[in-house]
Chain A
Amino acid sequence: MLILTRKRGERIRIGESVEVLIVNVCRRNVQIGIQAPQGVPIYREELYRAIREENLRAARPSEERLRALGSG
């Protein structure tokens, strides 16, 4: 993993179209601004993982339980 040191107000550019701005650093929090093309989804990592995991679980419904859900 590439690790860079940046000060408040400085930026990082990823490829042509993604820009990351260090907005503020306060105690244990870093505020980050991200400019990316529309259609590039940006997620907090833990949210992305939760949604991904739930999609993967939902993709394998239990046939038996499905029948039990009936037409409800």
Chain B
Amino acid sequence: MTIATRHFGAIEVPEAHVIDLPAGLPGFPEVRRFTLIERAPGSRFRWLQSIDKPTLAFVVVDPQVVRVDYPADAARRELEASGVGLGADEPIVLLAVVTVPPEPEDPSVNLLAPIAVGVRSRRGAQVILHDSAYSTREPLAAR
């Protein structure tokens, strides 16, 4: 399918690259389908581009790149509990949402509620790491 995006013009999204978040995201409950777009070669940031609302795209980053000790297992357990139907041995991808506010505020990353997606099913959810000390606004560590 072809979607007219805000940041990238018209792009072609193969069905196999569609990510489904059945519950939507808090604040965007009606937006379910997304696709990942590489931002620039070598960049740790990617775009999570909405298909249902082409003007909507989030900057995302792998939280394990930002914090090496990030509790990926806890995110996996939350994704299993969310009922999206994760296979027992199915790998997951974690996408932490990055906020890029205007000056003078600093960019931050939401490490409390990462988006977790099953690699095979491409279904996921924004999960909450209830037992972590992370907040929705953690500083982006220097590279």
Interface on A for B, CB 8 Å cutoff?
37-39, 41, 43, 47-48, 50-59, 61-62, 64-66, 69-72
Contact = CB atoms under 8 A, between A and B. Distances in A.
B82 A39 contact: yes
Contacts of A72: 43-45, 143
Interface residues of B, number: 38
A66 to B, nearest CB: 6
A58 B110 contact: yes
> Of B97, B136, B137, which is in contact with the most chain A CB atoms at under 10 Å from its CB?
B136
B13 interface: no
A20 to B, nearest CB: 18
Given A51-B128, A61-B98, A66-B59, 13 more contacts: A39-B22, A51-B136, A55-B27, A57-B101, A58-B58, A58-B97, A59-B56, A59-B57, A62-B100, A64-B103, A65-B101, A71-B40, A72-B44
Contacts of B9: none
Interface of B: 22-23, 25-28, 39-45, 56-59, 82-84, 97-103, 107, 110, 112-113, 125-126, 128, 135-137, 143
**Chain A facing B: main interface SS:** helix
Contacts of B112: 47, 50-51
Contacts of B27: 51-53, 55-56, 59
Contacts of A66: 59, 100
28 contacts: A38-B83, A39-B22, A39-B83, A41-B125, A47-B128, A50-B135, A51-B113, A52-B26, A53-B27, A54-B110, A54-B137, A57-B101, A59-B27, A59-B28, A59-B57, A61-B59, A61-B99, A61-B100, A62-B100, A64-B102, A64-B103, A65-B107, A66-B59, A69-B45, A69-B107, A70-B40, A71-B39, A72-B143
